[in-house]
Amino acid sequence: MLKNSFRISTTHLIMMSFLLVILVGSVLLSLPISSANGVGVSYTDAVFTATTATCVTGLVTLPTVSTWSFFGQFVILCLIQLGGLGVITVMSGLMIALHKKMGIADRILIQDAFNLNTLSGLIRFVKKVLAGTMLVEGLGALVYMTVFIPEYGPRGIWISIFNSVSAFCNAGLDIIAEDSLCGFVTNPVINIVTSLLIIIGGVGYIVWWDVISVLKLYRKQGKRCVRKLSFHSKIALSMTAILIAVGTVSFFVLEYNNPQTIGDYSFFNKLQASFFQSVTTRTAGFATIPQENLTNASAFVALVLMFIGGSPVGTAGGIKTVTAAVLLLAALSTVKNKNEITAFNRSISQKTVKKAIAVFSMSFIIMFVSTVLLSAVSNAPALDILFETVSATATVGLTRNFTSTLNLWGKIIIIVTMYLGRIGPISLAVALNTKKSSQNTVKMPNEEISVG
């Protein structure tokens, strides 16, 4: 009994692992060796930077390129990689590499970290995640070098590695310039490679293996093999494609004549910039056009895309594409007065719908509370504040040039918001729910109420 009272849940371990990494990272970043001028930054800014890196957000109070030394940038890169993959994943990888035996408790921890539904094949899954990540990040860095080495010389190698890891992990931090990737808005190589890294990292590992399996069957079965995709993959890929397409068209139309963003570019470059803006708002945080110069309509489109984010079991944040799809399908099913919620000739369980509602509700509450608090301590336009809090909640990293103006209380609010946004609203709800459900639950009588 005494042993059970001190047992820590896997959700608590996941939360504490991220917190521990942030604390260690903040101490390292506060050291004089981490700053470019040899004088340590304030601990508040060190904690903010450690949090934004570990939570793969990208909001910064100090310019990454000019504030940190090589050591400081290396620490930030390690935090991004740990945060993107997950501390549990990296530690599990080390145990596997050292041939340490993993018990049932370790496997449950991995299962919860990836939000998987089964304990089978977890070791193989971790190996594939780590190997796939290194491969994609390595290829991304090599392609980046074709642009950054001619542009920056030998330093371009480090920039390429840093940018590739940051893009794949959907972190949005870079060491190129203080205005992110605005200098490369018309460069197709940078746009395409960064977009692909963001999409591949954000679509989720489950979809990776599913697509690879289907591609192996393509030669034998042709187009029919697409049917072999899992229900999850079909929803994730469909929503990803729809959101990117809708975002691209929206930004292209709404910003077409805006000289402060894409108005002065050629048709192709306008389309290119619009596509990148649509992709980066899906929790990546890189910017090729100044976000503060967007029209109000475009800013609200960006808010929706940021809040939805990427797909489950990946490096992206937000409520996730599958969550948004489930909520939308549930709403349509209700409107059509259907008993089942269906898509792709499959039905979605009520348990999944309830989980989607919980994720949406918790994310909305975190965003709403942080918006109210930040409004109370900041004298800034409401749209800028809302853009900041949605970006922090969904771990995006885009800002309307507001993060650098935050006061002490504003920094603390955004730090907490980024942390809560990264560990996941549903994980937070489970972790804080210490009351165990009763085994002899009494079923209450039903009574109709008016809704809407």
pLDDT value of position 441: 59
**Any bridge partners for residue 341, and if so which?**
348
* In contact, 229 and 214? CB cutoff 8 Å: yes
pLDDT tens digit sequence for 137-170: 999 999 999 999 999 999 999 999 999 999 999 9
Is the pTM for the entire model greater than 0.75?
yes
For the chain, the domains span 8-428
pLDDT value of position 13: 75
pLDDT value of position 4: 45
d(CA 361, CA 433): 16
- Which among 163, 184, 136 is positioned nearest to 73, based on CA atoms? 163
pLDDT value of position 15: 81
pLDDT value of position 2: 36
CA angle in degrees (0–180, nearest 5) for 300-371-304: 25
Calculate the alpha carbon distances from 198 to 93, 97, 167, 244, 314 in Å: 23, 28, 5, 12, 10
pLDDT tens digits in sequence order for the chain, 452 residues long: 334 433 566 677 778 888 999 999 999 999 999 999 988 899 999 999 999 999 999 999 999 999 999 999 999 999 999 888 876 677 676 666 666 676 666 666 666 666 666 666 677 778 888 888 999 999 999 999 999 999 999 999 999 999 999 999 999 999 999 889 999 999 999 999 999 999 999 888 888 888 888 877 776 666 666 667 888 889 999 999 999 999 999 999 999 999 999 999 999 999 999 999 999 998 888 999 999 999 999 999 999 999 999 888 778 889 999 999 999 999 999 898 888 898 888 899 988 898 899 889 999 999 999 999 999 999 999 999 999 999 999 999 999 999 999 999 999 999 999 999 988 765 655 555 544 555 555 677 877 777 76
